[in-house]
Amino acid sequence: MRAAGASGRAELLRASALARAARLPRLSAACVAVAAGPRDHPTPDFDLSAYTASLAALLDLAWRLGGGPEGERPTPTRADVGVGRRAYTEIGSLRLYGLGCERVVTASGYAGVVTHLVSVSDGAPRTWSVSDIAPGGPERAAAAHGARVSFGGTALSHRDLGRAALVAQRVGASADGRLSGMSATTAATADAPPWDEGPLAALWERPAAEQIADALAALAAPTRRSGADLVFTEFTVVGPHPEGAEATAGGRSLVLAADGARDPLRARNLARLARQPGTVLRVMARPVLERPGRLVPITADGLPDLPRARRGRADLSLDTLRWADPEPAPDTVPAAPAPPPPTASDPGTAVLDRVLSRLAEAGREAVPADPGTRLRERHLRTGADLLTALAAAARERVRTATGESAAPPPDRLALAWLAASTYLTAVRHRLHTLAWDL
């Protein structure tokens, strides 16, 4: 990247325009994401790990679509091509039940809310979502939470839709489970059952371990259906934790976590919940793949002292819990937070990660002398072989017509770097899954 500079960024933006013209929207977006690296590199906004991940995604996608050296490769799918504008098709009538709303704030300058819903047909729940995301700052998420939903002519806000039931006809839906109010869509509100009664109770019947395993697999997949990464389970609050609130579910000790800096309202709500030990809640949450034992709660049901219209539910990233904190007993010593769940020790992947990041940032000259030794010492022979091949491709030189030594075209280096990056991603996903101890 240092060697490429402005010229490399210009080539990436040109490639993005060509990909867009060829109706390859996902490749176009990947080029733009990588082009942000040379632009941000001299500034504090640059994140090397994010840039390396974007570069790996671009190379993988380009290879799948037929770029680089000839050889065996998977057949491109519709997911590889992507969609420039999400297509909605009419799927008929649905009886929808609101589950809750989630705050969305992206680093690229977009904000809003996503409302999760579920329909139950033939006894099998199916999740859907309705979103309102547009350019704006964090304040837009709160505004969108109370704004009217553009779906079937209803007068509901996202906050109300997350607690209501709808009977909708001529509904439009995308392949990934997003709903849209088409011109012919009509919807009427109905009485919403509690989470522990009627058709919604089926969401909480599966064991928590099975739901978490499915959610982790969905998080690791390149594409997923809306709601595939959600977990519905009953938690008993135990007490405070440095990352939020410690709780138990299905006999397992878990942590309801929040990123306090990026999600302050959810962090404050979890702090209030942690001061109510013994509280039993039904929670819709999302596990964090890289942090075993941690789930980010989205909506909680069974909260006392809430207005009647909220039906005992709170969207933890958007609503404010105003419980009165109990008075601590004068002789009571606060219990120390439980230690975090055990995590898998790093078997040497950090070495591979450093080499890949350095090559992504500085180019061929950053390859170390013998990069595979540490991995062989950790019995990661496949990783060592990939790293050795990467080093050989980085040091490769060719003779020009005038006899000068020059670097060859980057195809072989890019393919070797991508192979090592793919291996690193697979190993880390496996380690994270094992660390959850499901």
Range of the domain at 272: 206-315
For residues 37 and 99, state if they share a domain.
Answer: no
Round to whole Å and give the CA distance between 274 and 277: 6
Helix (H) / strand (E) containing 89: strand 89-105
Q: Which residue, of 155, 172, 194, is where some domain finishes? A: 194
Residue where a domain terminates, one of 291, 315, 339: 315
Dist CA 167 CA 173 (whole Å): 15
Q: Report the alpha-carbon distance of residue 92 to residue 79 in Å, rounded.
A: 25
pLDDT at 335: 41
Q: Crossing angle, helix 48-64 and helix 25-40, to 10 degrees?
A: 150
Closest CA to 79 of 27, 7, 132, 146: 27
Average pLDDT of adjacent 10-residue blocks, the chain of 438 residues: 69 92 91 88 85 92 84 80 79 91 86 93 84 91 90 85 90 88 82 82 89 91 86 94 92 87 88 91 92 93 72 88 54 41 59 89 81 80 90 85 80 91 90 83
Residues 343, 436: Cα–Cα separation, whole Å? 8
pLDDT of residue 6: 76
273 close to 265: Cβ distance less than 8 angstroms = no
**Other CB atoms closer than 10 Å to residue 380's CB: what's the count?**
21
Whether residue 173 is found in the same domain as residue 228 = no
What distance in Å separates the CA atoms of residue 422 and residue 208, rounded to the nearest whole number? 30
Same domain (yes/no): 185, 230? no
* 329 in any annotated domain: no
Can you give the pLDDT at residue 195? 85
Q: How many domains does the chain have?
A: 4
Note whether 183 and 213 are same-domain residues.
no
Look up tokens 């709160």; give the residue.
142
Q: What CATH number has the domain bearing residue 168?
A: 2.40.50
Structure tokens that stand for 101 in this block: 């709303």
Please give the structure tokens belonging to residue 87: 């297509």
At residue 354, φ and ψ (nearest 5 deg) are -65, -45
Residue 342 belongs to some domain of the structure:
no
271: which 2 tokens? 């702090």
Whether 270 maps to a domain, the answer reads yes
Our CA angle for 143, 144, 150, nearest 5°, is 140
Q: Which of 174, 194, 214 is the last residue of a domain?
A: 194
Helix/strand/coil for 410: coil
Same domain, 367 and 410: yes
Residue 255 lies in a domain: yes
The pLDDT value recorded for residue 151 is 81
pTM (2 decimals)? Answer: 0.81
Q: What φ, ψ does residue 105 adopt, rounded to 5°?
A: -135, 120
Q: How far is CA 120 from CA 173, 207, 303, 311, 382, in A?
A: 16, 19, 25, 21, 46
Residues 189 and 138 in one domain: yes
| 50 burial type by CB count under 10 A (0-12 exposed, 13-18 middle, 19+ buried) | middle
**Residue 336 counted as domain residue:** no
Q: Is 340 within the bounds of a domain?
A: no
106 in the same domain as 43: no
Residues 214 and 306 in one domain: yes
